[in-house]
Structure 1
């Protein structure tokens, strides 16, 4: 366990992700849910599943905040450790799989527009979504296996303080023999494959759109924004943590910087709304309405404060006038 980790940095990233990610994901979830209920498309179903994954992470993120505020010790009930880890790690790989699926959908839509339009179906998107959830969750059950393998997921911090526990850290050799090969397999299956597919799809997606003369400039800009946002998400949020799997497998131990790499994965929940915005017109309209409402409320508050200030100034000016009038009358008499 790396006890030298900066607790303020951890809390800052957790709080930033929670404050930015929760309202934006809830807004996107509402917009996509309304869209799916009225006129569902495969991309809407994929995006809706991605928002659900992010919201689950954000719901359990306060538990990680409590852990960080306690000096990276786990003060909560023990059963919450594997459950929180399961949701936390599951969200990482569910997100990577659905980001890959979105890139494939976008690519097929421009590379084979007629064939894809005739064959695309909500049933296929639903089946793919169920498959991704099963694959990601089945891999993340390792958090429960390790938890009860020689009674650890928790490990004692010191021999003099047997009641101090760290969640999912300080693994024994027996646990590492189980955990490290699984991490390497996860790196290949749930990171490398989605990342390579996503890069291939978005490079060709943007290339094809840029070559088409009748595509509006705004749509081309949205395509570039979608590709850049998704690749930045992979590189910043997912790559460092997954590389730690390979390093750990080679070194037969978790590298000390792994805790910071894991921290970066949290940012995924605040970066995904950018993908939602560039992928769905329904989400764009919802964000536009929300921003317009906020601007209206801010203008109303500003106008009210300005009016109150003017009223106060006018009332303050009338008092001296009245006083000077009384004094004038007194002097005249």
Structure 2
């Protein structure tokens, strides 16, 4: 019961904080891309869309947590919710990595990169990321229907009625297929992007520290972006991906896997802070909103 209530509280907090922040970011990036698109704006716009898609299906996870991890909604929503839930999480890791690469190339090779800096390359990268995550996580969509058709022993007595849980309990045969796939997710969609991000941001910070013509305020903001992104990457995505490795070693489904998803869920409301540090357009929009709020409060007084 405590476990379900903790998940529900984190889901509600993420939803209430993430929805307005990401909608504001989405409007800002749409205007920026329409006016004059840059690769970083395309990447951040896709990251915002990914977060909004995640938040759109988060109420179904809230209902699941409220029902003590039982799936009492129409079962057709289970595969779709799980699929989009995990696709958007792993898509965020790839997009954050792409942002780190774009930042590194901009300071390491400013002249050469400016010659080939085209928004369409960022669009192709985003399309590739969506296809990569969707193809790697298609089993999340297929497995619940397989469990329904076969009848999950111990949790469902007949094949005609759907399982009582959604992507939570697995047979030994299913785990023999599922655990190697999870290990592949850990290596391909977490380890590789994280190592690339570490390389890019460490060198990004070293290069900035040696540049004399950058103001102290801008240098600190860029360093905060680099360190903040790495911390978000490690804290939000590390625990859940670590469960893949532990599960593969012990050849069993870890009971704390969904608890590790708590940190991954928080990523949807932490990304706007990255947007604030990465984009002058977002900072300008937030400053205008803040000034309007202050002016209205002053008038009310």
TM-score calculated relative to the size of structure 2: 0.94
Deviation at 1:159, TM superposition (A): 6.6
Gaps of 5+ in 2: none
Say whether residues 1:128 and 2:121 are aligned partners.
no
Give the CA deviation at 1:152.
7.2
Distance in 2 separating the partners of 1:123 and 1:108: 17
Aligned ranges for residues 69-148 of structure 1 at < 5 Å? 69-148=66-145
| Stretch moving more, 43-52 or 249-258 | 249-258
Distance in 1 separating the partners of 2:133 and 2:245: 19
2:79–2:145 CA contact under 8 A, matched in 1: no
Comparing 71-80 and 154-163, the one that deviates more:
154-163
The verdict on how the C-alpha distance between 1:294 and 1:110 changes in structure 2, with shifts beyond 3 A counting, is: same
Cα deviation, residue 236, structure 1: 1.2
- 2:165 aligns to what SS in structure 1? strand
1:156 shift after superposition: 7.7
Give the equivalent residue in structure 2 for 1:228.
227
Relative distance call for 1:228 and 1:72 in structure 2 (3 A) is: same
Aligned residue-pair number: 299
* 156 and 16 in structure 1: CA distance in 2 versus 1, 3 angstrom threshold: farther
Deviation at 1:151, TM superposition (A): 2.5
Deviations 1:173-203 (A, max 9, x none): 1211221111110100000000000011001
Conserved? CA contact 1:156–1:164, under 8 Å: no
Q: Does residue 1:276 correspond to 2:256, yes or no?
A: no
Match of 2:18 in 1: 21
1:7 alignment partner in structure 2: 4
Give 1:233 deviation, angstroms.
1.1
**Given the superposition, is the C-alpha separation of residues 74 and 145 from structure 1 closer, same or farther in structure 2, using an over 3 Å criterion?**
same
Change (3 A) 1:116 1:152: farther
**For the structure 1 residues 214 and 44, does the alpha-carbon distance in structure 2 shift closer, same or farther, using more than 3 Å as the test?**
same
CA distance in structure 1 between the partners assigned to 2:62 and 2:220 by the alignment? 37
Q: Please tell me whether the aligned partners of residues 75 and 162 of structure 2 are also in contact (alpha carbons under 8 angstroms).
A: no
- Work out the CA distance in 2 between the residues paired with 1:185 and 1:5: 32
Does structure 1 residue 245 correspond to structure 2 residue 219? no
Q: Give 1 or 2 for the bigger CA radius of gyration.
A: 1
Deviations 1:205-252 (A, max 9, x none): 011111101101111111111112211111111000001001111111
SS in 2 for 1:24: helix
SS of 1:170 mapped into structure 2: coil
CA distance in 2 between partners of 1:163 and 1:140 (Å): 21
Q: Check conservation: 2:60, 2:81, Cα contact below 8 A.
A: yes
Give the CA RMSD over aligned residues: 2.0
Q: Deviations over 1:139-192 (max 9, x none)?
A: 111112212334279958857998771110110112112211111101000000
